[in-house]
């Protein structure tokens, strides 16, 4: 099953099971979603539950907040992460805060989904990642689907959760193939050990997990050591328990993210490692991240702006060698 | 308007003003802090709108104490909220700008100018979807009528034919800025004309407001789609307690106060139903007693426990299960 | 319209279409990537609007190759930008959606729907402040006419009486969504009526577009404040190269293409100025040669140096001085 | 001179010297600014240069971008940080990116100023800090004025710079008194050593610098050691050189910020310390920050949500003691 099909199925099943689930966004209905995530659903559930909205992101999220207040379970799609900036007031000042400000009187069972990241030459206004901004907002759950099975289970959870959830997808994952274990009991807040290993903990999420996995054989060969690869899955809250266990075993941590290095999300993981796990560290915790530049259109420059499997492998091997591995 | 209703509205207006004057005093005494936006001068609108739109959901702004009380929320719980106490309607976490009570279909209490309007649109969508006929009322100021959230909402509510009553409470100012300095015209209803039926009402005339809102809600209930109502009002105080309000002349304020909605309602009750000054004073005393009681309650109420700091960030079940 | 101008517009329309067809081919061949939004079908509008608003600043969207060329930007530099080459107008860093050339008073090239409109408002403010009379033209789609940025701009431009020409290029669709499904009416000029003079023009008729834009600019130059023009157009291709465009019926497309602006301009030239098919073919050949040359240039052009990745994030002087 | 007077003077002097400087925002003109920063300027420069805008933050920044494109030097005021969210599209997708996307053809000499942080019981929608979000955006300079003298010089620099600058003020600093050395040659990108010391480097910015300074005597007394206090001043770019020199001397670093701990700005400073200065560290680098909750109205809860001098002193002393100081 493709990643986008897994997402589609998660929405489909929750819509079938719960008549209060509605989907809204640009081209989500008749068009089937610009990444085909909602394909076929309007035929099943009608235009009242697959709501094609105008290009008005502030309203898309703002309306979803109001729907949730009134007892629906809206799933709002923002076509691309960059456009979500137009809705940041509704996401941060409203969606994240009504429950707290109302002392729990108002619950917002809603999801805001969007794809993010560097795709293929979409340039600076269509290539960004906002997990660092949104994971810093108390009151929001932030899930990042880097895996087909996780995407299915986590989205179902998100839709049926009574908390507001930001659900992040990656533009390059929609056609990724994977197995879905429909009966599995997945805790969406638990980090996923993608590969076990004993010498280096590599933490990542979304598409970078795949790039890390591609880099690992090279690293292991060069260093003669094994890597443990962790997909964070939930970016807020973070499953620090899993990270702690892994780090205690390996003594070394590398965080790989696609976003710009300055201010990127990964800083809080290495910062946590330094603050909470200092005496378990056998080497400086490092971050491999994108360059501090807007994303350029030219393909060579674009690839130079973000981590690639080659760059990841090279950097980890170098760091390992200069730090006693 | 029948006598019972007129008396009820009058009582709530007096209650509202008395409440606001007490809040002002307690602000100056340091019992209340933060931004305190008083509704003094605008009570006629606030009370009549709430009473007229009794059934249906209401969304409004930070200037909402009087509306909350007129809506049926306990003045004790409202005053305690201003005091930041655990007995407050939002357990002291929201304060003056964030009064919420879904049991009264009252959704705040939003302090982002215009921010509540898209929420009301979504609520109206949900009500239509759920088959409810009463509709939703969203109240906002003239200042909010220049923001993207407002405009997008007019367009969407119209395109989706939502049961939504837009009410612009036009007091002529956004803090210190006169509406005509930042918009091309004074009356904001003009902006809604391409999208829906619009109406203007004298916001200093509670009876007229009541009727206009009833009429508008009836249109909505009849499936007419959204309606826009503009109520011209006047605030007597500064924008909030921190605004000295020097941008309005004495003359302007004089004209403004000469239309006092409470006095007007008193005349109405006297003329239409022969109420006497003694009877009106009785109402005023009753309001004063209610406010005194609310203030005493708020003063005596407990502070929230420190542990409440961490409550309701997420829903309890999940937090317990997963953190 | 005089013959010289009509021929110039015709040439640019043919050049535009030829350019777009070449871009499409090169996209399919893998020389161009990312989102490619073709202007095919809408060239009549794009060219005539640029020629009519020769003096003054222009802001537009991601669907801007034809406009950029008609504005006077070198087709080589435009094609090289689509190829992502260093010889591109944005040195390969912007791509198809981000063509900028301040020397032609052309400010992009914005890929956030509606995002350029507030920028144009600010530019119009600056031009008025600087005493320039030509004004600013901002072009956007029907889809953009539902967003907060658009609405806020109508209000501000009107309140400040800015020399700004709003042009809604209404092709009836925002990607796959028909405008009438998400807005209460088809013609978006209605939204501007409370704020300014509005006019509609057949966007498939280049001569009419030229005249409408000239007239509008003259009003602006005369200090009339903002003006709104709606051009009804039709795009022949999908929204971008990744859109199969299945949401429009064959019938609809047939009607749409039957109004072809280039054919119309050919008739005009034949009827008004007696141009022959041979003469028109000459123009087409000239356009083809220019596009072939541009594509050859783009193909042969150098890739940007890797060091360019870090250039122009900040201005050079400061970066060197402080980092 | 008060902090707000220093800001006022910086604007006044640049407006006097350069006729292309204009100020725009809500109530900045006739009203004089809601924190009185632009008081008196409209009388001097007229309504065309002190532009009262409607409540439309997206347009305030969006218009400033257009003005800057056309050759003006706009200084946009957003009344409170929270409202800037409505302008995030213009700040991040436009203001930060036009220079890069246009290969340097378009410069945006503009400033967006706003006050942020926890003031006194303004509750969740008026008490936030966004430096972590905005410092993560390539193309934006982010300056944070924690000091009166710096406020004056840095704002003058910002207005006359050809780069887009986000200039952050703090709500509680407007009435802070301080000396301004008008002739000083201040590099706005250089961190300020507020107090020298040899055992602990405490890094902070904005109002927290004052809270740290209040906490330091207690810390020094309890530990019998001295603290070096650094005001970052420029949040992007960061003056890592000054931090490096200090850290090499002290071997210990504490970052104090008012914002929520999860995802807060400080993470990138401790993360940098762990990654780049690992072998100079004698103790885990720690962060003292706010709780992960929206800011409540109640004063006791509000103070419980953010660092205070007492909490800062207590935490540093504890950490010092358990880590060999
Ligand atoms: C988005 C946003 N911008 C600015 C503010 C600051 N502010 C609070 S109230 C106000 C004026 C609002 O005027 P209006 O809508 O007319 O309501 P009124 O206070 O007159 O009832 C402003 C500018 C805010 N709270 N939210
Ligand atoms: C703010 C924002 N939301 C969504 C998109 C995705 N998107 C790109 S073009 C487009 C349709 C725009 O339609 P219209 O304004 O009519 O212009 P047209 O493409 O028809 O010329 C959409 C939704 C975007 N680029 N920006
Ligand atoms: Mg007002
Ligand atoms: Mg369109």
The per-residue DSSP string of D153-189 comes to: HHHHHHHH-SS-EEEEEEGGGTT-B----TT----TT
* Structural domain contains residue C314: no
pLDDT band, very low/low/confident/very high, at A315 (cuts 50, 70, 90): very high
Strands A227-231 and A200-204: parallel
Among candidate residues D5, D26, D57, D258, the one labeled active-site is: D57
Closest CA to A251 of A273, A272, A222: A273
Question: Which residue in chain C is spatially nearest to D76 when comparing CA positions?
Answer: C122
- Report the residue from D100, D125, D286 with minimal CB separation from A293: D100
**The domain that contains C54 carries what CATH number?**
3.40.50.970
D3-170 and D192-322 in the same fold? yes
* Structural domain contains residue B172: yes
Strand partners, A75: A23, A111
Total domains, chain C? 1
* Structural domain contains residue C322: no
Residue B18 beta carbon below 6 angstroms from any ligand 1 atom: no
Count the Cβ atoms, other than its own, within 10 Å of residue C211: 15
- Residue nearest (by alpha carbon) to ligand 1 atom 7: B113
The answer for residues whose C-beta is within 8 angstroms of residue B288's C-beta and 6 or more apart is B18
Closest CA to A87 of A109, A115, A59: A59
Give the ligand with the smallest distance to the CA of B63: 1
User: Would you mind telling me the total number of residues written for chain C in this entry?
Assistant: 323
Closest CA to D59 of D15, D16, D91, D30: D91
pLDDT band, very low/low/confident/very high, at C316 (cuts 50, 70, 90): confident
Question: Which residue in chain A is spatially nearest to C245 when comparing CA positions?
Answer: A31
Q: Does the active-site annotation cover A170?
A: no
CA distance D75 to chain A (A): 22
**CA C158 to centroid of ligand 1, rounded, Å:** 21
CA distance C310 to chain D (A): 9
Which chains lie within 8 Å of chain C at 3 or more CB pairs, if any?
Answer: A, B, D
Cβ within 8 Å, pair C159-B149? no
| DSSP annotation of B230 | E
* pLDDT (0 to 100) of residue C272: 97
SS3 per residue for chain C: CCHHHHHHHHHHHHHHHHHHHHHHHHHHCCCCCCCCCCCCCCHHHHHHHHHHCCCCEEEEECCCHHHHHHCCCCHHHHHHHHCCCCCCCCCCCCCCCCCCEHHHCEEEEECCCCCHHHHHHHHHHHHHHCCCCCCEEEEEECHHHHCHHHHHHHHHHHHCCCCEEEEEEECCEECCEEHHHHCCCCCHHHHHCCCCEEEEEECCCHHHHHHHHHHHHHHHHCCCCCEEEEEECCCCCCCCCCCCCCCCCHHHHHHHHCCCHHHHHHHHHHHHHCCCHHHHHHHHHHHHHHHHHHHHHHHHCCCCCHHHHHCCCCCHHHHHHHC
Question: Over the stretch A43-78, which tens digit does the pLDDT of each residue have?
Answer: 999 999 999 999 999 999 999 999 999 999 999 999
Q: Does the active-site annotation cover A57?
A: yes
Task: Report chain D residues whose CB lies below 8 A from the CB of C144.
Answer: none
Does residue A67 sit at the B interface (CB-CB below 8 Å)? yes
* pLDDT (0 to 100) of residue B316: 72
- The residue among C26, C32, C34 with the most chain A CBs within 10 A of its CB, best to mutate, is C34
Arithmetic mean of pLDDT, A141-164:
98
CA dihedral A13, A18, A19, A24 (to 10 degrees): -60
Interior CA angle at A227 toward A224 and A229, to 5°? 160
Strands A141-144 and A234-236: antiparallel
In chain A, domain spans? 3-170, 192-322
In this prediction, the residues of chain D whose per-residue pLDDT falls under 70 are none
| DSSP annotation of A90 | I
Q: Tell me which residue has tokens 């907040």.
A: A65
Protein fold of A192-322: Rossmann fold (3.40.50)
Phi, psi (rounded to 5 degrees) for D252: -140, 135
Arithmetic mean of pLDDT, A158-165:
97
Closest CA to D266 of D206, D176, D185: D206
Residue A58 beta carbon below 6 angstroms from any ligand 2 atom: no
| DSSP annotation of D52 | E
| DSSP annotation of B93 | S
Residue A155 in this model has a pLDDT that exceeds 60? yes
User: Where on the phi/psi map is residue C114: left (φ > 0), alpha (ψ -120 to 50), or beta?
Assistant: left
Whole-structure pTM over 0.90, yes or no? yes
Domain membership of residue B29 as a residue range = 3-308
CA distance A57 to A68: 17
Question: Over the stretch A94-116, which tens digit does the pLDDT of each residue have?
Answer: 999 999 999 999 999 999 999 99
Question: Over the stretch C254-288, which tens digit does the pLDDT of each residue have?
Answer: 999 999 999 999 999 999 999 999 999 999 999 99
Does residue D101 sit at the A interface (CB-CB below 8 Å)? yes
pLDDT one digit per residue (tens) for chain B, 323 residues: 999 999 999 999 999 999 999 999 999 999 999 999 999 999 999 999 999 999 999 999 999 999 999 999 999 999 999 999 999 999 999 999 999 999 999 998 999 999 999 999 999 999 999 999 899 999 999 999 999 999 999 999 999 999 999 999 999 999 999 999 999 999 999 999 999 999 999 999 999 999 999 999 999 999 999 999 999 999 999 999 999 889 999 999 999 999 999 999 999 999 999 999 999 999 999 999 999 999 999 999 999 999 999 999 998 755 433 33
Protein fold of A3-170: Rossmann fold (3.40.50)
Cβ within 8 Å, pair B159-C183? yes
Contact between D229 and A231 under an 8 Å Cβ cutoff? The reply is no
Phi, psi (rounded to 5 degrees) for B61: -105, -165
Does residue D254 sit at the C interface (CB-CB below 8 Å)? no
* Structural domain contains residue C316: no
């Amino acid at each position: 099953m493709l990643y986008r099909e897994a997402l589609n199925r998660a929405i489909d099943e929750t819509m079938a099971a719960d008549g209060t689930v509605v989907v809204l966004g640009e081209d989500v209905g008749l068009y089937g979603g610009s990444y085909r995530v909602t394909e076929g659903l309007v035929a099943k559930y009608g235009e009242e539950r697959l709501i094609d909205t105008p290009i008005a992101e502030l309203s898309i999220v703002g309306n979803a907040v109001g729907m949730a207040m009134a007892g629906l379970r809206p799933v709002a799609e923002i076509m691309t992460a960059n456009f979500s900036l137009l809705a940041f007031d509704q996401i941060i000042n409203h969606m994240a805060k009504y429950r707290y400000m109302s002392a729990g009187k108002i619950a917002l069972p809603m999801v805001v989904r969007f794809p993010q990241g560097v795709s293929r030459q979409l340039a600076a206004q269509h290539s960004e990642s906002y997990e660092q901004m949104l994971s810093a907002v108390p009151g929001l759950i932030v899930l990042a689907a880097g895996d087909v099975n996780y995407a299915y289970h986590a989205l179902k959870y998100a839709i049926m959760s009574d908390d507001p959830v930001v659900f992040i997808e990656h533009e390059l994952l929609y056609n990724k193939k994977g197995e879905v274990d429909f009966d599995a009991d997945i805790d969406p807040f638990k980090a996923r050990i993608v590969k076990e290993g004993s010498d280096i903990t590599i933490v990542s999420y979304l598409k970078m997990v795949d790039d890390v996995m591609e880099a690992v054989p090279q690293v292991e060969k060069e260093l003669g050591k094994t890597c443990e690869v962790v997909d964070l899955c939930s970016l807020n809250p973070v499953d620090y328990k899993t990270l702690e266990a892994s780090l205690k075993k390996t003594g070394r941590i590398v965080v790989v993210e696609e976003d710009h290095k300055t201010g990127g999300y990964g800083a809080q993981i290495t910062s946590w490692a330094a603050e909470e796990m200092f005496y378990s560290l056998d080497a400086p915790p490092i971050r491999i991240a994108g360059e501090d530049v807007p994303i350029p259109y030219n393909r060579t420059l674009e690839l130079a702006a973000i981590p690639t499997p080659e760059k990841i492998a090279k950097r980890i091997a170098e760091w390992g060698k200069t730090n006693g591995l | 308007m029948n006598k019972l209703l007129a008396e009820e509205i009058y009582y709530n207006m007096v209650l509202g003003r008395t409440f606001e004057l007490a809040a002002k005093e307690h602000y100056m005494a340091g019992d209340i802090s933060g931004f305190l936006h008083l509704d003094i001068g605008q009570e006629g609108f606030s009370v009549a709108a709430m009473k007229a739109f009794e059934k249906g959901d209401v969304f409004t702004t930070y200037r909402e104490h009087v509306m909350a009380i007129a809506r049926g929320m306990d003045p004790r719980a409202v005053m305690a909220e201003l005091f930041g106490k655990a007995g407050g309607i939002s357990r002291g976490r929201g304060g003056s700008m964030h009064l919420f009570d879904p049991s009264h279909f009252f959704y705040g209490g939003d302090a982002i100018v215009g921010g509540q309007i898209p929420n009301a649109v979504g609520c109206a969508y949900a009500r239509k979807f759920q088959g409810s006929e009463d509709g939703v009322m969203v109240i906002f100021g003239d200042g909010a009528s220049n923001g993207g959230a407002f405009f997008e909402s007019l367009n969407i509510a119209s395109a989706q034919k939502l049961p939504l009553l837009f009410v612009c409470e036009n007091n002529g100012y956004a803090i210190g800025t006169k509406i005509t300095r930042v918009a091309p015209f004074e009356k904001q209803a003009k902006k809604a004309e391409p999208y829906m039926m619009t109406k203007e009402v004298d916001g200093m005339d509670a009876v007229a407001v009541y009727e206009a809102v009833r009429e508008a809600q009836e249109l909505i209930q009849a499936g007419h789609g959204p309606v826009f109502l503009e109520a011209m009002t006047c605030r007597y105080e500064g924008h909030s307690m921190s605004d000295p309000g020097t941008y309005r002349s004495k003359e302007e304020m004089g004209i403004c106060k000469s239309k006092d909605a409470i006095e007007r309602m008193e005349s109405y009750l006297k003329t239409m139903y022969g109420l006497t000054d003694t009877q009106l004073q009785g109402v005023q005393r009753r309001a004063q007693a209610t406010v005194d009681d609310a203030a005493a309650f708020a003063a005596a109420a407990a502070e929230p426990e420190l542990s409440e700091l961490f409550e309701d960030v997420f829903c309890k079940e999940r937090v317990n299960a997963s953190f």
